[in-house]
Amino acid sequence: MKQLVAIIAYYMFGYLIFWTLLHETDFFPKIWVRENFSIAIYIWVFFFIIPLILIALGNDYIKDRISDFKSLKQSTRWPLYLLLFGVWDLMIGFAYLLFSYFEISQTTMIIANALFISGTILTFISFSVAKKLELSKEE
């Protein structure tokens, strides 16, 4: 029940931000949104709502991984920073290629969203792996 409430709260928060930005500011081109309403909805769902739902579902996992990272010694963090720089450079590079060479379609948005979710998962997995490696070196 707690997870369901969190998902609904994240959804409503995303809904309020997206539509407030759309109607109250010039952040989004309103004419384009009216003419391409279905694409605007897909942009909203794939780049905002799905990540918020995944964050709500993975809250405990994320807290555990962040505590792994916080408990790492300073000397162990630098290789991890290099690894994460490489992971995110690769993910952003792939996303750039997607949007540069393919028209923005539902498929492109789904693949780009999957890339960023994969990068986030790899980030959190690397926190855990770095902690386990540090503990194995101490033994």
Residue 131, pLDDT above cutoff 70? yes
pLDDT digits (tens, 9 = 90+) for 20-40: 666 666 666 667 777 877 777
The helix or strand, by DSSP H or E, that contains position 67, with its residue range, turns out to be: helix 59-70
Residue 1, pLDDT above cutoff 60? no
The beta-carbon contacts of 83-92 under 8 Å, at least 24 apart in sequence, are 83/126, 84/123, 84/126, 87/119, 87/122, 87/123, 87/126, 88/119, 88/123, 90/119, 91/115, 91/116, 91/118, 91/119
* Lookup: tokens for 32: 């384009």
Per-domain residue ranges of the chain? 1-57, 61-139
pLDDT digits (tens, 9 = 90+) for 92-119: 888 888 877 877 776 777 788 788 878 8
- pTM of this structure: 0.57
